[in-house]
Amino acid sequence: MQLVNHGVDGGLSRQIKADVSEFFSLPLEEKSAVAIPPNGMQGFGHHFVFSKEQKLDWVDLLFLATRPVEERSLDFWPKKPPTFRDTLDKYTAELANVAEQLFRFMAEDLGVDHDALLGTFKGLPQCVRINYYPPCRQADKVLGLSPHTDGVGMTLLLHVNDVQGLQIRKGGEWFSVQALPGALVVNIGDVLEILTNGKYKSIEHRAVINPEKERITIAAFHSLHLPCTIGPLQELGNPHYKAIDGFEFTKGYFAAKLEGRRYLESLKL
């Protein structure tokens, strides 16, 4: 689903695009000032690295926890460009508002109690994964991001430049998503699929690489308020998914190493 971006001020959206592009254009030594530490998650580097032999995804990323605000680790927030921190703070606050509105509309659409749905996302916990996909002449030999579903409630994706690369899987086939200018792509994640008892489907997706042009995107993940138990909302009939502790779910998601819908399918009854 693409949402024309009324929720985010145009100037702010331009500013975040400029700051993010500037960060990735810095020399490696400068970006490494916020490198992900061994066994860490936040900062600049790579995720889902399990062995020296594996083929890596063709992407550099900057991953930051942005909400709740008091849990930010500012050490990993770049100081260059100097406007970066302030812009990211404002941009992510706006996106949290958009996410909250969408959760409300979804509750309405499903005819469920707002609190039952919104309670799972209380305080709107949020992380951003800023993806920089370098071009690759042999683009068909690499993947920017392996097929996966997002292990969260909902992702709001902004294209920083106009290079296409996102694909979604439907009926076993891959379809390219053409980003509309000024729009956010809204991706349903695993947690919403479980909560809605499968009425909303977590979309399997991947990112492909352009042979000539770099591609930059900002994924803002809206995730669980922990601790909690995730299970289908009672109003939605016989449950089709097991109820699972939120921490267990997150551990299982990362252990499943980006293998399409495999982990989510394992939670079906």
Residues that bind ligand AKG (CB under 6 A): 129, 131, 145, 150, 157, 165-166, 205, 207, 217, 219
Residue 165 interacting partner from ligand AKG, Fe ion, none (CB closer than 5 to 8 Å by kind): ligand AKG
The CB-of-165 to ligand AKG minimum distance in angstroms stands at: 6
- What is the rounded CA–CA span in Å between residue 244 and residue 194? 10
Measured in whole angstroms, how far is the alpha carbon of residue 209 from the centre of its chain? 18
Residue 217 interacting partner from ligand AKG, Fe ion, none (CB closer than 5 to 8 Å by kind): ligand AKG
Using CB under 5 A as the binding rule, whether residue 150 contacts Fe ion is answered as yes
Residue 106 interacting partner from Fe ion, ligand AKG, none (CB closer than 5 to 8 Å by kind): none
Residue 131 interacting partner from ligand AKG, Fe ion, none (CB closer than 5 to 8 Å by kind): ligand AKG
Residue 166 interacting partner from Fe ion, ligand AKG, none (CB closer than 5 to 8 Å by kind): ligand AKG
Please answer whether residues 41 and 47 qualify as being in contact, where contact means their C-beta atoms are separated by less than 8 angstroms: yes
The CB-of-28 to ligand AKG minimum distance in angstroms stands at: 21
Pull the structure tokens for residue 3.
């949402």
**Residue 197, Cβ density class (10 Å: 0-12 exposed, 13-18 middle, ≥19 buried):** buried
DSSP 5: S
What would you measure as the largest C-alpha separation in the chain, in angstroms? Answer: 54
Q: How many CB atoms lie within 10 A of CB 246?
A: 17
Using CB under 5 A as the binding rule, whether residue 193 contacts Fe ion is answered as no
Q: How many CB atoms lie within 10 A of CB 165?
A: 23
The CB-of-166 to ligand AKG minimum distance in angstroms stands at: 4
The CB-of-167 to ligand AKG minimum distance in angstroms stands at: 8
Which of 19, 150 has the CB closer to Fe ion?
150
- What is the rounded CA–CA span in Å between residue 158 and residue 97? 15
Site of interaction with Fe ion (CB under 5 A): 150
